[in-house]
Structure 1
Amino acid sequence: MVPPLPPLHGELMLDVFTHRALTRSVLNDHTLHGNSDRLAQLGKSVMNTIVTYILFAERPMLSGEELKIKHEQTLSDEIMVAWLGAYDTELKKRVRLGGAPRGALDDPEEARFLLNSYVGAVCIQDGLQAATDWVSKLVKPESPPLALVDDSQNRTLPASPVPSPSSAPLPVPPQAGSTSQAAPPPYHPTPPEVSTIPSGVPQGTLALFNQTCHQRGFSVEWVASANGFQHDPRWEVKCKVNDVERGFGVGRNQKQAKELAAYEAYLYMQSIGWTLPEPEPTA
């Protein structure tokens, strides 16, 4: 029994469900992902990393050579074809083949490409933790998914010192009316990491971010959600500027998560000169 297929939306869904024979690897600069080839490369790296981490955590420990062999077995052609076959109705039969021959997805290379594209799309849309939750359940259905958390309290080696929030200088936003010639870089949500305090976030960032957005006429929306155990909740907050996600934060409480999301959004908006030349499509 495979875990439920994470739903995709918008351009991501269209690209994943359209065979590359139809798209011919054309890059779409108006999206964050570009095309399915880029998604597949991202998904391949994410899949390899998650599987390696799962095997690395096994006890008794695997040797380096054993880990390598088991990794190859876990992501073998037979396994990839079997996984895709398990999602026959939800995924395999929904792909528009175009000029590709009937039964093309039975080929191990095509099955691997489609699954890697899907993993990459999940990572772009919902974050690394969402992709990890899904892949973990594919690899080890009987075990709980890996949690991407800050394990600094359990490390035997001292962690690198973190600068005090009060000592970290705030970047200065450009004056109203200034323009930026460079094209805005793509926004990639930060992989969720739980920390006990919003380390490195300068004091006053949230207030400065809200003030700057208000002065420039940008709308700001905060989307908060909590999961985990009631006694130990995990808060996630997304910061949307003009309906487009620009920041993401995770914390032990909503205030922490919001401050982290504001800081990430502030840095992103700073990097593009606080200009939004045209509305971006939403998922």
Structure 2
Amino acid sequence: MVPPLPPLHGDLMLDVFTHRALTQGVLNDHTPHGNSDRLAQLGKSVLNTIVMYILFAERPMLSGEELKTKHDEILSNESMLAWLAAYDNELKKRVRLGGARGALDNPEEASFLFNSYVGAVCVQDGLQATTDWVSKLVKPEGQPPALVDDSQDNTLSTMSPASASLPAPPQAGTSQAAPPPYYPTPPQASTIPSGVPQGTLALFNQTCHQRGFSIEWVASANGPQHDPRWEVKCKVNDVERGFGLGRSQKLAKEIAAYDAYLYMQSIGWTLPQPEPTA
């Protein structure tokens, strides 16, 4: 029994289920993936990495030669054909083949289709979701490996080395100078700056939750529908403390969280108390 096939949507589904003989390798610049050829290359690399990652975690440990042998067995043409057969109604029969009838009986074409689907899942849902699906194909009884720990127990010591540069928040009750006025960072970059540590958003959310601060994210998009620019403002207790700009809402939110974290760190994670009412 194979795990459920992750559903695809929009242009991704159209490109995966249209045989490459019909598209003739034309790139669609209005999509993040371009075409099925690019998806297949991504999917092949992702599959190789996920399968090796699963085997690498096996205990007792496999030798280097054993890793290579088992990796090649799992991703053989026979395995690809078997997986396609298991998903026959959901995947293989939905492909628009044009004049290429019977093409998917060819191991190379079967591998191309499956790799394209894996690449599409990765683009749409992310690497962890792809890992969860593929790991159930490879080891149905095993638990999918976690690539990133997004739990609420994250601390600086469990993050990547880059995030160690973030100073730990001060203890509650520590006296601090009056907070400086907040000035949003000018929108410049459309990608996460190299100095933004992985896991900042999770750490920021956790710290605010522990201190009883409310967080509000205000997002808006500008530009053409196919290529928007997202702006996200981060409000802590109804006051703007961070700003982010990016090509996706998620990207802008990450930058806004980093901006807000640095500001809150600079004021010692203390907020002015409201004046008592008469």
Residues of 2 paired with 1:98 and 1:170: CA distance? 54
The offset of 1:245, in angstroms, is 4.0
Segments of 4+ moved more than 6 angstroms: 192-196, 218-222
For residue 162 of structure 1, what is the aligned residue in structure 2? 164
- Does the aligned pair in 1 maintain the 2:33–2:39 contact within 8 Å? yes
- Does the aligned pair in 2 maintain the 1:149–1:194 contact within 8 Å? no
Pair 1:116–1:219, CA change in 2 (3 A): closer
- Does the aligned pair in 2 maintain the 1:42–1:120 contact within 8 Å? yes
Residues of 2 paired with 1:161 and 1:129: CA distance? 20
- State the percentage of identical aligned residues: 62
- Which AA in structure 1 matches 2:57? A
For residue 8 of structure 1, what is the aligned residue in structure 2? 8
The offset of 1:195, in angstroms, is 8.4
Find out whether 1:87 has 2:87 as its counterpart: yes
The offset of 1:163, in angstroms, is 1.9
The offset of 1:215, in angstroms, is 11
For residue 237 of structure 2, what is the aligned residue in structure 1? none
The offset of 1:149, in angstroms, is 2.3
For residue 148 of structure 2, what is the aligned residue in structure 1? 149
Q: How many residue pairs get matched?
A: 212
For residue 203 of structure 2, what is the aligned residue in structure 1? 197
TM-score (norm 1): 0.62
Q: Deviations over 1:90-123 (max 9, x none)?
A: 00000000121x2211111111111110011011
Query: For structure 2, which runs of at least 5 residues remain unmatched after alignment?
Result: 169-182, 192-197, 206-214, 224-228, 234-244, 261-278
Residues of 1 paired with 2:222 and 2:128: CA distance? 34
- Higher-Rg structure is 2
- Secondary structure of the structure 1 residue equivalent to 2:144: coil
Pair 1:85–1:24, CA change in 2 (3 A): same
- Secondary structure of the structure 1 residue equivalent to 2:249: strand
- Secondary structure of the structure 2 residue equivalent to 1:197: helix
Find out whether 1:172 has 2:189 as its counterpart: no
- Does the aligned pair in 2 maintain the 1:247–1:265 contact within 8 Å? no
- Which AA in structure 1 matches 2:51? V
Residues of 2 paired with 1:5 and 1:90: CA distance? 8
Root-mean-square deviation (Å)? 4.3
Query: For structure 1, which runs of at least 5 residues remain unmatched after alignment?
Result: 175-179, 186-191, 200-205, 223-240, 250-258, 267-283
Mapping 1:1-283, distance limit 5 Å: 1-100=1-100, 102-150=101-149, 159=161, 162-164=164-166, 171-173=185-187, 197-198=203-204, 210=218, 245-247=248-250, 260=254, 262-263=256-257
Residues of 2 paired with 1:264 and 1:51: CA distance? 33
- Which AA in structure 2 matches 1:48? N
Q: Deviations over 1:228-283 (max 9, x none)?
A: xxxxxxxxxxxxx99x843169xxxxxxxxx64744899xxxxxxxxxxxxxxxxx
Pair 1:173–1:220, CA change in 2 (3 A): closer
- Does the aligned pair in 1 maintain the 2:2–2:137 contact within 8 Å? yes
TM-score (norm 2): 0.63
